[in-house]
């Protein structure tokens, strides 16, 4: 099955700086990569996703890049704000599949 590894496990950044989270996956058939944000005590929520037919996707201050050859993808948050503090999970799955394989999560803390 799919194995997703995520780094770093914790990340502390100064407000206004950028944050980068990296994930690798093992199954070369995976072609859908969502990112979820989970605030303390709340449900995971999808913030951005990317399909394998593109290498980058951007939505305001967040962007995701995908390198299918190397089997890794990254989340980039620019101009971080205190409300970006949360646990971020990457995930991978195969089109026509349904179960998401999640990374272990990255706890991001934005220092004011």
Partner 1 sequence: GAGVSQTPSNKVTEKGKYVELRCDPISGHTALYWYRQSLGQGPEFLIYFQGTGAADDSGLPNDRFFAVRPEGSVSTLKIQRTERGDSAVYLCASSLGGGAFNEQFFGPGTRLTVL
The total number of residues shown for the chain amounts to 112
Nearer to partner 1, 9 or 81 (CB): 9
Q: How far is the CB of 84 from partner 1 (least distance, A)?
A: 19
The answer to whether the CB of 1 falls within 8 A of the CB of 24 is no
Best CA proximity match to 44, nearest among 94, 111, 97, 103: 103
CB closer to partner 1, 13 vs 94: 94
* Interface contacts to partner 1, rule CB under 8 A: 4, 6, 31-32, 34, 36, 42-46, 49, 51, 89, 91, 93-105
In whole angstroms, give the CA distance from residue 87 to residue 41.
11
Nearer to partner 1, 33 or 84 (CB): 33
């Amino acid at each position: 099955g799919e194995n997703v590894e995520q780094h770093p496990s914790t990340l502390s950044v100064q407000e206004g700086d950028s944050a980068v989270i990296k994930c690798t996956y093992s199954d070369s058939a995976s072609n859908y990569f969502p990112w979820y944000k989970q605030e303390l005590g709340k449900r995971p929520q999808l913030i951005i996703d990317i399909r394998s037919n593109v290498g980058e996707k951007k939505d305001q201050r967040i962007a995701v890049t995908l390198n299918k050859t190397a089997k890794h993808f990254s989340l980039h948050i620019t101009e971080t704000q205190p409300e970006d503090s949360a646990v971020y999970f990457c995930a991978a799955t195969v089109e026509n599949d349904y179960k998401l394989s999640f990374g272990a999560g990255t706890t991001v803390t934005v220092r004011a």
